[in-house]
Every structure is written in structure tokens, then in C-alpha cells.
Amino acid sequence: MVSATQQLEVAAKALIPGGVNSATRNVGAPATFASAHGAYMTDVEGRRFTDYHAAFGAILLGHTDERVNDAITAAIRDMDLVGLGATELEVTAARMMVDAIPSVEMVITTMSGSEAVFQALRLARGATGRSRIVKFQGCFHGSYDAIARNVISPADRAYGWDPNSSGVLDDAMQHTHIAEFNDLESVEEIFRRYGDDIAAVILEPVPHNVGALLPEQAFLEGLRRITREHGSVLIFDEVITGFRHALGGYQELCGVTPDLTTFGKAMGNGYPVAGMGGSAELMSNFSSQGGSVMLAGTFNGNSVSMAAAIATIGALQDPELRVHEHLFRLGARMRAGLTEITTDLEIPAVVTGVGSVFVTYFLDGAVRGYRDLLRNDDDAYATFHRRMIDQGSYMYPMALKRNHISYAHTDADVDRTLEQAGDVLAAMAREGAFSAVRQHGRANV
């Protein structure tokens, strides 16, 4: 008898390439889902999972949060999409973003983080008249051609030529240079060679696309100094860190103010909305204000996206909810518990993260930049996450991918997950799953 999962998978694969609308969704069972509420999601077979994937971090308050859904329902009673002028929802959302994010004096909205980054880089090039961009090995900034390179690179292609996709013209990426995170010297070397033509330095202030590399304060302050000295634009890509780690993003926590900031994911609690903002001087270069940098997008500022952003940011601002206090407390509880487990089992591991994000690297020694992550045992990492899914805690089963806690998670959820993790890691230790870490470093290098 064909199961409901099999029926849906067959239909999806017949109609959608690979059966998924984003390649990163194709990670095996459970592959088909029926519902998601709060901290949990349920597949079509009725199995419930505590969700730490959180749609790559887009779910901040919890799935189908009533505050957000009620705001959207109210908004669409009056308007779907006009596509002209401005609406009260757009102005309200913009004011909330400007008030929240230290670097933002003016703001635009988009439908995705990739679009926000695209707009930021085009604006930086248009405003400076320069062509080159500096990014960091391990940072991901969406699908825009100029930046689509060098994320989770194997050792033989790290820091070199490592496009994320075929079909991208080499010329589009040749003006993008790769530096090492937390290594100012690698940045200064690029500026020594190309300083007069570097339009922007872009980074995730916490590179969450390779887990959670924690930035050194001197590194962030150094980037601010270098870019100012050379007249380049400093861009913080806070598509993941924005709103999740603080109302004003990671820049609020570190006290370093970039020129431009991109944000998205968590700002709409799962609904499609993102944005980009910065100084009024830079933002005035957009064609909407008479500048030369094109700004366009039919669905930008639509009522559903704006209502979702207003409701989500409003919840983060509510002093009675204490959303970030809850997220940071549960995140610390999870990281402390995983550290205790790996220490007691004598597993070589580094448990790290910030706020609601937690990561367990399987390696020895400190972790500062991507070079250190080349020692991670990718097989053990993916196996741990896969077995946690089998236990009922959904952690994305691919090496270097992070886990997220939402406002809907509870202490009981964390305690249950830690109990499951203890069982899984103990079994893996008995099987010798971590021998490669002790003997040779990263398993696939």
C-alpha cells in the first residue's frame, strides 16, 4: 500500500524539479509535512517533531503565531496589492525598522534576503563608482551572481575559485574577493591591492551559514576603520542575525554601525519579507529619490508582508513578552547542556552560538574562522542531526548548519532534547563515530 508520504513525494517530483522548491529542502525523511504550530511541525504520517530548523531561522515567535496571523487577516480585508504610491502599512513598518536598527535612517523593503543583498551591493557600487567587493569565506549572501561563491567550500577550493552554481558568468564573480573571517590582515591585503576600487565589504556579523563563528570585537571595529579610511561601504548582512539576536540586530549588541544593513527571515515570522537600509545620504541614490540606482519590485511593500513585519517587530518590542530574554535563556540552557554531555562523554566538540542559535562542531581546538571549520567532522555532524530527527527533534542534517530556538519553545522542550542528545551522542561514542576527529581532523579533508 502506498503511504501518504509516498503519494505526495511522487506527485511533487513529477511537477517540481527534485520535488522541492529549494535544493536545501531535499534532505530526506521526513520529506512531506502537513502542519506546523508553535515549536512543532507534523509530517503527513502524523509524526510530530520539535522544530529547531525553524525554516532556516525565519520562524522566531513560533509557527502560525496568532499575533502575526491576526494582523495579516485584518490587513487583507482592506487591501491586497495596489502597487502605487505608499500605504499606511508601509510607512508604519518603515518607521519601526528605522527606530530599531542603529544604522538605518531610510529603508526599502523586498520579498527576500537575496533581493535585499542585491540592492545593497548595487547601491554600494552605484554610490561609489567602484566595482570590487570583499566577502568572507563561509558567509552566504543569497543567489545574486556577484556574491554566489565560497560558502561551504572543500579544503581544495576554500579561498579560491568556488562558485555556488553553474550558469553564472565568471565576469560576475571575478570582482568579488575572498577574505578570512576574524582575520583583518587578509582584508588589509586585498585593500592594499585594490583599495581604490573596492565598493563594499559585506559580511554576516555572525556567519551563521557555517554554524556560528563568533566575531571578535577588534575584527568588527577594524572593518569599520578600514572601510572608512578607503571610502568603501561596510554592509552587515543581518538577514539571519537581524531581529533574532536583538531588536536592532547584532550591530546593537556589538556597537559597530555599518553603512548599510540587510535583514529578513525572522522579521516576518515566516512570511516573505526582507529589507535593506542605511544612511539617508546613501539611500538617496535610489531612482525613487532621483538617483541613478534602479529600485523596482512589484510585490515590495505588499500588505501581507508589511502586516507580518509590523506584528513581529511589535511582539519583539512588547516588554511583557520579553521575547529576547526568553530566547537567550533557552539558548544558553541548550548550549550548556550540550557542553556538559560532550564533556562527560569525552567527545571532542565545540558547542557555540549566540542567543537562540546553537551549534555543536565536532573538532578539537578553538574556532575563529573558516580554516578552523575544515577540521570539523562533517560525517559525525550530519549523523548527530539525522539521529536527533529520528528521536523527534528536527535538526537540519547537513554539516555546519545551525539550529534555532523560537519563542514558542519551552524549558521542557530543551530538557527533552538534551536527554535525546545524551542518548544519541553516547551511542555514537560507543560506535567510534568520533575517532576521525581525534586522529585526523575533518573526516572529508
Residue 65 burial (10 A CB sphere; 0-12, 13-18, 19+) = buried
Q: What is the pLDDT along the chain (445 residues), one digit of tens a residue?
A: 768 788 888 888 898 888 888 888 888 888 888 999 999 999 999 999 999 999 999 999 999 999 999 999 999 999 999 999 999 999 999 999 999 999 999 999 999 999 999 999 999 999 999 999 999 999 999 988 889 898 999 999 999 998 998 898 888 889 999 999 999 999 999 999 998 999 999 999 999 999 999 999 999 999 999 999 999 999 999 999 999 999 999 999 999 999 999 999 999 999 999 999 999 999 999 999 999 999 999 999 999 999 999 999 999 999 999 999 999 999 999 999 999 999 999 999 999 999 999 999 999 999 999 999 999 999 999 999 999 999 999 999 999 999 999 999 999 999 999 999 999 999 999 999 998 775 544 444 4
**CA R_g for the chain:** 22
pLDDT value of residue 438? 53
pLDDT of residue 204: 98
Quote the pLDDT of residue 3. 80
Identify the pLDDT of residue 445: 40
Residue ranges of domains in the chain, CATH in brackets: 4-64+322-440 (3.90.1150.10), 66-317 (3.40.640.10)
Taking the CA atoms of residue 192, residue 197, residue 200 and residue 202 in that order, the dihedral angle to the nearest 10 degrees is -50
pLDDT at 319: 97
Q: What is the pTM of this model?
A: 0.95
- Give the Cα separation of 296 and 136 in Å (integer): 28
In whole angstroms, give the CA distance from residue 379 to residue 315.
39
What's the confidence (pLDDT) of residue 442? Answer: 44
pLDDT at 349: 97
Residue whose C-alpha cell reads 542528545 in the numeric block: 421
The type of residue at 186 is S
Q: What is the pLDDT of residue 255?
A: 97
Q: What is the pLDDT of residue 10?
A: 85
Beta strands 198-203 and 233-238 are parallel
φ, ψ for residue 141 (rounded to 5)?
A: -130, 30
Q: Cis peptide before 30, with omega less than 30 degrees from 0?
A: yes
Report the distance separating Cα 220 and Cα 281, nearest Å. Answer: 23
Per-residue model confidence (pLDDT) at position 437: 72
Please tell me the predicted confidence (pLDDT) of residue 23.
80
